[in-house]
Structures are given as C-alpha cells and as structure tokens.
Structure 1
Amino acid sequence: MLKDFAELSTPLIADACVRLGEPLRAAPAGIAPVVPGQRLAGRVLPARHYGSVDVFLEAFGAAEPGDVLVVDNAGRRDEACVGDLAVLEAETAGVAGLVVWGLHRDTPDLVEIGLPVFSYGRHAPGPVRVDAREPEALHTARCGEHLVSAVDVVFGDDDGVLFVAADRVDAVLETAHGIHRTEREQARRIRAGETLRAQTRFEEFLAQREADPSYTFRTHLRRIGGAIEE
C-alpha cells in the first residue's frame, strides 16, 4: 500500500475522494508525523486506550504485516499514551506505523526507532488512570469524528491523515494518480511561462459566470479537464 502511495499525497487522496463522491474522512487537523517527511499507508489496526499499554500488546497479536495501529485516546492533551516501548513492539509485530488521536512521548527514542508515528505532539506525562474497557476496544477506534476499523485504510504524510474504505482504495488511488498527472503538467506549464489563468481559460470562465451566475469555477474546470480544486 505504501508503494502505491509513494508518488501521491494526502491532498491528492482527499481530492480523489471528493471527485468520486467518497466520504472525506480526515483525522483532526494538527495530527502530524513525529519526524517531518515520514509517510504511512496501510490497513487500520484499531485500539482504544484506557490508560494501559496492554490493549496495544493485544492488538499486536492480531496484526498483519503493513497494518497501521490507530490509537484512540479521545484526543486527550493531558497525557501521552504512546512511547518508545510501544513503538518498538509495533515494529517487532510488523506494524508499518502508528496514528495517535492524542499525544506521544520519548521523542528522541521514536526518532531513533524510525517507525512513522503521527500524533498531536509530545508530552512528558504518561497516563495516571486506568479506565473501564469498552467491548469495541480492539474492533474500532475513533479519530476525531470518524470511527475506523480493519475495513479501512489509512494514509498519512506531512499534510495530515486520511481514512478510506478498503473496498474503494483502488478507485481512489487511480483517480488520485490522474489528478497528480494533470497538476504536474499544469505546474510544468506555469514554469514554462504559461500562467494558470491561461491554462484554465479564466477569462472564458468569468464571461460564462457573468452570463450564468450559477456557473462555478469547479464546473468550469471539470468541463475543460482541469484539476486544481479537486
């Protein structure tokens, strides 16, 4: 999955979802890689955190190579729920990375380990509570307003994290590659001296909008084969 994502980005995945009418499921803004430039893509391995690492260890027992542990810590900012030992164990289990709806710690160790970890940021204190475990602890995880599970695939890079239903991933990736090719060609032409306004026939759009106020730039781009807004 990471290989298929190699030439793409989460913005392109998001645009492909919009074009295909797929649900746009983004992790909350601010979740970013511990090490800039880290990327991940893989099946969701869900785990809800209740104050103890045991739920992660149990999740790793069911992990398949390339899975991405998605940790639901309810977005808490008062504790870090993932540190070096959990990440080392994830690596040993063949997990491709972690997405944490919450905070991490042991940052220098995570940098050294090198496994992609995405979170809101770093925080020294770990959990000082142990809450009752929900029945869905290893079946689903929340990440912001979204509920994800093993039927989903997660993509992450410097722009954030997105979730796509596994049975729609091939179509989304194919569309994202098409948008990418269009945008790279547009960028090449701008560098060669042809403005984006000229490429998108912007004067023509303005005239059409004057005649028909319901005519949007997105409609115009679709008509002429542009892709910059999706």
Structure 2
Amino acid sequence: MSLLQSNLPVDTLNQAQQQAIELATQHENLNLLQLLMKGGWIMIPILLLFFLGLVIFIERYITIRNASKADGGLMAQIKSNVLSGKLDSAIAVCRSSNSALARMLQKGLTRVGRPIKDIEAAIENAGKLEVSRLEKNINILGIIAGIAPMLGFVGTIFGVIQIFRDVEIAGGIDIGSVSGGLYVKMIASASGLTIGILAYIGYHILNMMVERLILKMETEAVEFIDLLDEPGV
C-alpha cells in the first residue's frame, strides 16, 4: 500500500511532463496558413500577388494552348479550295476552325485578287493582332516577379526594426525573443522570393508558348503566300 502511494506523485509528474511536451509540439507544428500569417501585414499583398499571378497564368496558359492546337488539314483544305477557285469555301473553312492561324489566313483570303504586297500586309497585321491578344496580361507576371521579393524584404526590414525597438524599450537583449521574432519576420522574405520565382517561371513558360505559336503562324503565312504565287491562282 505504501509502495503504491509513493508511486502516485511520480505518475502525476510524468503525466504533467507528457502534457507539456504535447503542448509544445502543438505550438511548433503550425500549419502553413498560420505560419504565413506570422509574417505580418505585408503577407496580405504578397498573397494577393500570388493569387493574381496564379489566375493570370492559368487563364493565359489555357488560351495559348487552345490557340496552338494543330488545325488538322487546315492548310490542305485551303490549298485545295484556292486551287479550285473556291475562295468562299476556303474562307468558310477558316471560319469553322476559328483559331488564331485560321483568322490570320482568312484575312489574307479576303484580299485575294489584290497585289501580293497588300495580301502580305493584311496577313501581317492580322498576325500582330492575334499575338497581342495572346500576350495580354503576361507582362503582369513579370511585374509580380519583381514586386513580390521586394515586398518580402520590406516586411522583414519592418519586422527587424520592430524587434530592435522592443529591445530598446526593454533595456536589454533577450536572445530567445530576438531570434524567435527574426525567424517570424524572415517568413515575409521567403514568401516573397518564392512567389517571385514562380511568377518568373510562369512568365517565361507563357512567352515560350507564344514564340512557338508565332513561328508556326509565320511558317503557314509563307506557305500561303507561296500558294497564291502559283500559276492559275
């Protein structure tokens, strides 16, 4: 009986220690959102930039991919109709395709009968218009890539200023509070750099997609002009 009574305080102490360890673990194992919010008010514009960049990238990616879809047999159908003198049928083929390349070639078909230079100018202008539509808002990703890291650094600097102000008010340096506060403020810099890198990658991915489409459109435009130069057209 006396042995059981002597073990009670030890069991109680072990239970208290276990609870303390669990509380400390819960405090350290913050979820991502809680960790980001510890970066301070500057995290709000940084997160807004992230969502803006994400929306722009997804929307532009889908648009450019749809515009880049191969029009199976488009050029062959146009060539067949043009050589047969069926310009209306060739224009109808372009309208049914409704892609960037088809709209550009349609503009050239409506100019058939005029000098080749006029047709080339019409195709070139239509191509520039299509490219400008595809590049819409892509530059915003480049802006985000530059602004997000700077916002992160600004948040960290303000945080460090606040830490040293608290040290001055306290009249002494507490290494624990300084290091803990500094790690929290570095969250802003890490978030800004991460979002900036992602925006930079997205910006160049979209630009490469547009450049590939431009090359394809230029190739088809040259083939179309060569078609018009054939005898009997």
TM-score, with normalisation over the residues of structure 1?
0.18
TM-score, with normalisation over the residues of structure 2?
0.18
Q: Which has the higher helix share?
A: 2
Q: Which has the larger radius of gyration?
A: 2
